[in-house]
Structures are given as structure tokens and as C-alpha cells.
């Protein structure tokens, strides 16, 4: 594995993320933090969308639920950051397994609609769930940053942890793609019925992929909302972020390992530019929509797919 170039490419990406922002360069750190979150979301979404061929429009539910669990564990139950993150990851993965066993009987458009349903149902539940603050959400006391050395250092620690989660996401994508499990998922993505006839245990594999794709976004959500010290249903379960994760995955190349990372980085740059530009400030999502249309129409396998077709050797290096 150490001899595969891709292993080192991921390591290098992590190193750049970890080393780039220095000292007072908070602006760069915040931009890279967002990119790390996007990469985490997109690359886990890719397990379902790119590998198994199931469009998950509601993948943000993992991120939001992870956030809620973590904020609840820390704020209400008084747990430390580490146990809260582990517990929220575990809780959301288990919840995803339950959702998955239900909705993975559906295919295509019906599945995609059901994933939106899951997100909306969870949001409606949380909005009415008083222990989690209902519609007003939960505020965390800034006291909670003290064990990490106060708010300043805490933000750096959160940043490094999110970069680590991003790295683990990329390695997870990589290992799954190189494994027997990954081969099974890819065959499901190509032709689910034929895969089952060849012996691929399709219900189990789909449920595993769905719940595996929940784990790291949930932990990332925990960190993200801990950082903001506030969580409310409208932020946690915002379908915009789900849609952006799909645009990112499609832009970079669904089913490829590097694609989601490349797409996330480019999208975050574009988004930053649009948000600060006077003309386009309110058009960020319009641009995302147009981008998605163009990709689906002209380059359904995204940037990496285009590169691989142009220079087939690249595939050997990056996959």
C-alpha cells in the first residue's frame, strides 16, 4: 500500500492543509476548514453516489445529527470533546443503519426522494424535541473551550481535527475502492440485479455503505457545531449543503477517489469568490445549479473522468 502513489498524494494533501495556515492567518484557516468539511461530506457521499450508484440528496442529515448529538453530549451531559465525538459518530452510524434498511429497498428516483424525506423527518422531529432545544436549538457555553486552552487554541485544534477527519475520509474511499466490498458496491452501481445474480449480497452491502458514509460526516458535524457553539434545526439539516455535496462530487468526478476532493476545493474557491464579488453575491446557488446542469449534460463523469479519458495513465496513479 505504501508503494501506491495515491497513498502519498493523500498524505501530502493532509500535510498542506495542516501546514498552510500559520499563526494569525485565520482567514486562510477558515477557508481551508470549510474545504475540509466539503471534502469530508463529498467523499463520503461518493461511497453511495459514486460507488453504489444511489443518489443521496439528504446526506446532510448525518452531519446535522452528528452536530446535535455532540452538542447535547457536551452541553447537557457535560462530556468531554473526544468521548462526545466518538459517541455521536457511533449513534449516527447506528441510526443510518436503521434508516438504510428501510429506504434502501427503493431505487433510483424513489430512493433519492426518500433520502430527502429522512432529512425532513429528522428535522421535524428535532424541531419538536425539547431536550434538544426544539426550534430555538442549543447554545454552548464558551466555558467548554477552556479544556482546550481557551477559544483561540480551541479553534486551531478543531481545525486540525477536521483536517484529520478529511484525511480519514479520503483513505476510507481509497480502501473501500480497493477492496472486495468496493468491487461489490461498484457492481451494484453498474447493474444491481446482475450483481445479485453473481452473488453480491446487495441489501447488506448497500446498508453498510449507507451507514459507513454516515460516520465521518457525523464526527465532522460534531466538530463544526462545537466550533460555532450553537446549533439549530435550520442550520443542521440545511438541504443546500446536501445539494452542494452532490455538485462537488459530480464536478470532481463521481466514483473516483480524488474527484470529490478536487471538486470540493474548486467549489470552495468559486464560492468564496462569488460571495465576495459584488455582482454575484446572491447568486452562489444559481451558479452551483448551472454548474450541475453543465456537468450532467457534458461531462457526467466530472473532471477526473475527463482527465482519465484524456490521459488513461493518470488512472493508475490516482486510483
* Interface with another protein (CB under 8 A): 179-180, 183-184, 186-187, 190-191, 193-203
Rounded to whole angstroms, what are the CA distances from 89 to 49, 93, 147, 222, 254? 21, 6, 21, 8, 24
Q: How far is the CB of 3 from another protein (least distance, A)?
A: 15
CA distance 154 to 140: 14
Residue 203 or 228: which CB sits closer to another protein? 203
Residue 150 or 201: which CB sits closer to another protein? 201
Q: Which cell numbers in the block locate residue 257? A: 477517489
Residue 28 or 194: which CB sits closer to another protein? 194
Nearest Cα to Cα of residue 210 among 191, 227, 174, 185 = 185
Q: How far is the CB of 192 from another protein (least distance, A)?
A: 10
Residue 144 or 176: which CB sits closer to another protein? 176
With contact defined as beta carbons under 8 Å apart, do 58 and 119 qualify? yes
Residue 141 or 191: which CB sits closer to another protein? 191
Residue 143 or 193: which CB sits closer to another protein? 193
Q: How far is the CB of 305 from another protein (least distance, A)?
A: 10
With contact defined as beta carbons under 8 Å apart, do 285 and 240 qualify? yes
Q: How far is the CB of 44 from another protein (least distance, A)?
A: 22
CA distance 111 to 107: 5
| CB proximity list for 43: less than 8 A, separation 6 or greater | 166, 169, 170, 172, 173, 249, 257, 260, 261, 264
Q: Report helix, strand or coil for 57.
A: coil
Exposure letters 2-12 (e unless 16+ CB within 10 A, then b): eeeebeebbee
Q: How far is the CB of 211 from another protein (least distance, A)?
A: 19
Q: Report helix, strand or coil for 282.
A: coil
Residue 189 or 217: which CB sits closer to another protein? 189
Nearest Cα to Cα of residue 98 among 214, 269, 181 = 214
CA distance 239 to 217: 14
Q: How far is the CB of 23 from another protein (least distance, A)?
A: 46
Q: How far is the CB of 187 from another protein (least distance, A)?
A: 5
Amino acid at each position: 500500500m505504501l508503494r501506491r502513489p495515491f497513498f502519498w498524494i493523500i498524505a501530502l494533501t493532509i500535510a498542506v492543509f495542516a501546514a498552510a495556515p500559520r499563526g494569525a492567518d485565520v482567514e486562510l484557516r477558515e477557508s481551508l476548514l470549510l474545504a475540509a468539511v466539503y471534502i469530508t461530506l463529498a467523499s463520503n457521499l461518493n461511497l453511495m453516489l459514486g460507488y453504489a450508484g444511489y443518489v443521496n440528496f439528504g446526506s446532510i442529515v448525518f452531519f446535522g445529527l452528528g452536530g446535535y448529538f455532540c452538542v447535547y453530549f457536551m452541553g447537557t451531559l457535560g462530556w468531554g470533546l473526544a468521548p462526545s465525538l466518538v459517541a455521536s459518530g457511533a449513534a449516527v452510524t447506528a441510526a443510518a443503519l436503521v434508516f438504510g434498511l428501510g429506504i434502501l429497498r427503493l431505487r433510483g428516483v424513489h430512493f433519492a426522494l426518500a433520502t430527502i424525506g429522512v432529512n425532513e423527518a429528522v428535522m421535524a422531529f428535532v424541531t419538536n424535541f425539547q431536550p434538544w432545544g426544539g426550534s430555538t436549538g442549543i447554545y454552548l457555553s464558551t466555558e467548554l473551550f477552556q479544556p482546550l486552552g481557551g477559544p483561540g487554541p480551541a479553534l486551531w485544534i478543531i481545525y486540525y481535527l477536521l483536517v484529520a477527519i478529511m484525511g480519514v475520509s479520503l483513505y476510507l474511499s481509497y480502501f473501500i475502492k480497493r477492496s472486495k466490498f468496493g468491487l461489490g458496491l461498484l457492481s451494484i452501481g453498474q447493474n444491481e440485479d446482475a450483481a445479485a445474480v453473481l452473488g453480491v449480497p446487495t441489501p447488506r452491502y448497500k446498508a453498510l455503505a449507507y451507514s459507513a458514509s454516515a460516520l465521518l460526516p457525523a464526527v465532522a458535524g460534531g466538530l463544526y457545531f462545537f466550533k460555532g457553539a450553537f446549533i439549530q434545526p435550520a442550520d443542521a439539516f440545511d438541504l443546500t449543503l446536501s445539494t452542494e455535496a452532490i455538485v462537488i462530487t459530480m464536478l470532481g468526478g463521481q466514483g473516483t477517489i480524488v474527484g470529490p476532493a478536487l471538486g470540493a476545493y474548486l467549489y470552495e474557491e468559486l464560492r468564496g469568490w462569488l460571495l465576495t464579488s459584488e455582482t454575484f453575491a446572491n447568486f452562489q446557488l444559481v451558479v452551483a445549479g448551472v454548474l450541475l446542469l453543465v456537468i450532467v449534460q457534458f461531462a457526467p463523469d466530472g473532471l477526473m473522468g475527463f482527465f482519465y479519458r484524456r490521459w488513461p495513465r493518470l488512472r493508475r496513479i490516482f486510483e
